[in-house]
Amino acid sequence: MDKNQQQGARLPLGALLALAMTGFICIVTETLPAGLLPEIGSGLHLSAALAGQTVTVYALGSLLAAIPLAIATQSWRRRTVLLMTVFGFLVFNSITALSSQYWLILVARFFAGVSAGLAWSLIAGYARRMVTPPLQGRALAVAMVGTPIALSLGVPLGTWLGGYMGWRLVFGLMSALTLALIAWVLIKVPDYPGQSASQRMALRQVFVTPGVRSVLAVVFTWMLAHNILYTYVAPFVARAGLTRQVDRVLLAFGIAALVGIWLTGRLVDRHLRTAVLVSLATFAAVAIFFGVFASSAVAIYVGVFIWGLTFGGAATLLQTALADAAGKGADVALSMNVVVWNSAIAGGGLLGGVLLEHWGVNAFPGVLLVLLVTSLAIAFRARAHGFVQGQRHGAAGVVEH
Q: By C-alpha distance, which of 312, 348, 326, 281 is closest to 144?
A: 312
| % of the chain beyond a pLDDT of 70 | 93
One domain for residues 124 and 268: no
2 falls within a domain:
no
One domain for residues 28 and 173: yes
Residue span of the structural domain in which 310 resides: 203-400
Q: What is the pLDDT of residue 258?
A: 87
**pLDDT tens for each residue of 28-67:** 898 888 767 778 888 888 876 687 778 778 888 888 888 8
Residues 9, 12, 16, CA angle at the centre, nearest 5°? 130
Residues in the chain: 401
Q: What is the pLDDT of residue 347?
A: 84
| % of the chain beyond a pLDDT of 90 | 42
**pLDDT tens for each residue of 344-357:** 887 887 888 888 88
**CATH classification at residue 169:** 1.20.1250.20
As a whole number, mean pLDDT of residues 124-145 equals 86
One domain for residues 177 and 236: no
Quote the number of domains for the chain: 2
As a whole number, mean pLDDT of residues 294-318 equals 93
Residue 44: burial class (beta carbons within 10 Å; 0-12, 13-18, 19+): middle
Whole-prediction pTM: 0.81
Q: How does residue 397 score in pLDDT terms, banded at 50, 70 and 90?
A: very low
Higher-confidence residue of 184 and 347: namely 184
38 falls within a domain:
yes
**pLDDT tens for each residue of 19-29:** 999 999 998 89
One domain for residues 390 and 283: yes
One domain for residues 182 and 225: no
Q: By C-alpha distance, which of 242, 318, 275 is closest to 283?
A: 275
48 falls within a domain:
yes
The lowest-confidence range among 2-16, 73-87, 216-230 is 2-16
One domain for residues 268 and 136: no
Question: Distance of CA 110 to CAs 263, 298, 342, Å?
Answer: 35, 40, 14
One domain for residues 175 and 209: no
